[in-house]
Amino acid sequence: MILSRRAMLGGMASLAAAPARAADYVITPVVIGDGIWMVRGADEPIESRNGGAIANIAIIATPAGTVLWECGPSLRYARALRQVAERLTGARIVRVYVSHLHPDHGMGLAAFDPAIVAALPGTIAALAAQGQGYADGMYRLLGDWMRGTDLILPGRAIMTAQEDFGGRALRLLALSGHSSADLALLDERTGMLLGGDLVFNDRAPSTPTAVLPAWRASLDQLQVLPHGALLPGHGPIDPAGIAAIAQTGDWLNWLEGALTQAVRDGLDMVEAGNLPIPDRFAQMAVARYEMQRSVSHLYPGLEASLLPRIDVKSAP
């Protein structure tokens, strides 16, 4: 303890020379229902200035203890979150849900006993296969923010459609499309739907692991599921719970259509990434950024399916 404080004082003294020393995370829970709070992520890319804290997180108070929905990008974040959450509810954390494999949602799980961290089996498998690559990427992007964060796998594979915490029932929906396994959660008491990254709101969806038909099918399921307000994975809460689902579907349909047409029109990836974004998405944060990322994710596959074969056998 003394050592780290001295190290920190040293760091303060040389702040001008070494601006890489990160600030601390600011974690501000906002009540969104009876015994449920959100911690809003920044509607930005993962960057040094936000420490990777870009995903929305929820804290749920139950008679059996505190439940966390997502645990943030780093060990440092998750430790701070745990302190804030337990002070808020006065009860220890008994469950942490990680919605999917992306590091802004779950890299912080190293702060908890893996036995209380639950994720879909597909998420655990994907983390085992790809998690180290994501962890390396986060260290490169965020440096000191990530210090001490190791890749740990969730210890509990979700095999049931519901968990009950002393009478507060949480419905667990096993979906996919944003990634190979996407968890959504319905808090029965408040009707609050936690969409994970299946739903974005006024923040452009990201597609690095997207399977668009599956994603659309998941959105259809969420749309017909009776629920109240919706906390998306990124962006502000949707009070009526429907607009954000519709907007996410609208963006994905537009994106796929626009990129398909771009391949048919003979555009290269740079040109496709500069196509106009419709006015109805003007309020979306990071729209151009995510659109260009999506070109990288989706374009080669579209080319392989849409451009005809033209190879000919050379004359013998």
Binding site for another protein (CB under 8 A): 45, 137, 140, 208, 264-271, 273-274, 288-289, 292-293, 295-297, 300, 303-304, 307-314
**Can you tell me which of 40, 76, 95, 102 binds Zn ion, judged by CB under 5 A?**
102
Interface segment toward Zn ion; rule CB under 5 A; list 44-52, 189-197, 270-278, 300-308: 189-197
In a 3-state reduction of DSSP, which class is residue 144? helix
Q: Minimum CB separation from Zn ion for residue 101, in Å? A: 8
Shorter beta-carbon distance to Zn ion: residue 33 or 106: 106
Shorter beta-carbon distance to another protein: residue 30 or 270: 270
- Contact 197/99 with Cβ under 8 angstroms? yes
Q: Are strands 230-234 and 193-200 parallel, antiparallel or unpaired?
A: parallel
* Cα angle, residue 132 at apex, residues 126 and 137 outer, rounded to 5°: 115
Site membership for Zn ion, residue 234 (CB under 5 A): no
The site partner of 238 among another protein, Zn ion, none (C-beta below 5 to 8 Å per kind) is none
- Contact 138/74 with Cβ under 8 angstroms? yes
In a 3-state reduction of DSSP, which class is residue 255? helix
CA-to-CA separations, 162 to 84, 158, 168, in angstroms, rounded: 26, 9, 10
Site membership for Zn ion, residue 82 (CB under 5 A): no
Q: Minimum CB separation from Zn ion for residue 57, in Å? A: 13
Residues 6 or more apart whose Cβ sits within 8 Å of residue 35: 60, 61, 62, 89, 168, 189, 190
Shorter beta-carbon distance to another protein: residue 34 or 268: 268
Q: Minimum CB separation from another protein for residue 271, in Å? A: 6
Site membership for Zn ion, residue 202 (CB under 5 A): no
